[in-house]
Chain A
Amino acid sequence: QVQLVESGGGVVQPGRSLRLSCAASRFTFTSFAMHWVRQAPGKGLEWVAVISYDGSKKNYADSVKGRFTISRDNSKNTLFLQMNSLRTEDTAIYYCARDSQGIPPNWFDPWGQGTLVTVSS
């Protein structure tokens, strides 16, 4: 069964940085694009970023462009999200999700359990 496990969340002050990881297993990681999607407490889903299967193409939501960087290490089946200059409005559960294809966008399946990022002074 495909598995995605996020880590790296926590409490951080505004303006600081955090790096999230998503460990993938039980599927051919190098064949799929990968996304980060976030959900603020009690709110809906907001797409954050995507990276193509080989890491050559990346796209970001306007709300995080210039502050967040998505990357992947295909040798370790791991997806990353480097978050800099964090703001209180970045507080959310961050999910990694597999794209259904190698070139996005497509539907997301499956999703990880998520990791909570809280930006607060």
Chain B
Amino acid sequence: DIVMTQSPDSLAVSLGERATINCKSSQSVLYSSNNKNYLAWYQQKPGQPPKLLIYWASTRESGVPDRFSGSGSGTDFTLTISNLQAEDVALYYCQQYYSTPPTFGHGTKVEIK
């Protein structure tokens, strides 16, 4: 199984500042035949199910604010929240779908400083 490791476990960021979450996979999730990274990011607010933010490592889901961006390739990925808003307080998970079983990182909690 591919192990997904997120860092940090939690971070506190001031309103309007940038939050950066890292995700590392135990093996590459870049499929060479189509040059796509099989990685998604989700946001989970308390008491709610996860919500898809980004897929293919950097493609923003429709309706997701453009302050959310994803980057990286191979084994190292980043979710960046620019201009942090109060409604962005949540847990964030990365997930690889390169192989079965699909696996998730353990989550990163984003709070307001």
Contacts and interface: CB of A to CB of B under 8 A. Distances in A.
Contacts of A50: 100, 102
Nearest to A99: B97
A110 interface: yes
A63 to B, nearest CB: 10
A46 B104 contact: yes
A109 B61 contact: yes
Contacts, number: 59
Contact of B52 (A59, A62, A95, A107): A107
B49 A59 contact: no
Interface residues of B, number: 21
Interface string A34-66: 010000000011110010000000010110000
Interface in A95-121: 95, 100, 104-114
A108 B103 CA distance: 12
Contacts of B42: 45, 108
Most chain B beta-carbon neighbours within 10 Å: one of A61, A105, A113: A105
A110 B63 CA distance: 13
Given A44-B93, A44-B105, A45-B93, A108 B100 contact: no
Given A47-B101, A59-B100, A107 B95 contact: yes
A106 B50 contact: no
B34 interface: no
A47 B104 contact: yes
Contacts of B105: 44
A45 B102 CA distance: 11
B103 A44 contact: no
Interface of B: 40, 42, 48-52, 55, 61, 93, 95, 97, 99-107
Interface of A: 35, 44-47, 50, 59, 61-62, 95, 100, 104-114
10 contacts: A35-B102, A44-B105, A44-B106, A45-B42, A45-B104, A45-B107, A50-B100, A59-B100, A104-B97, A111-B51
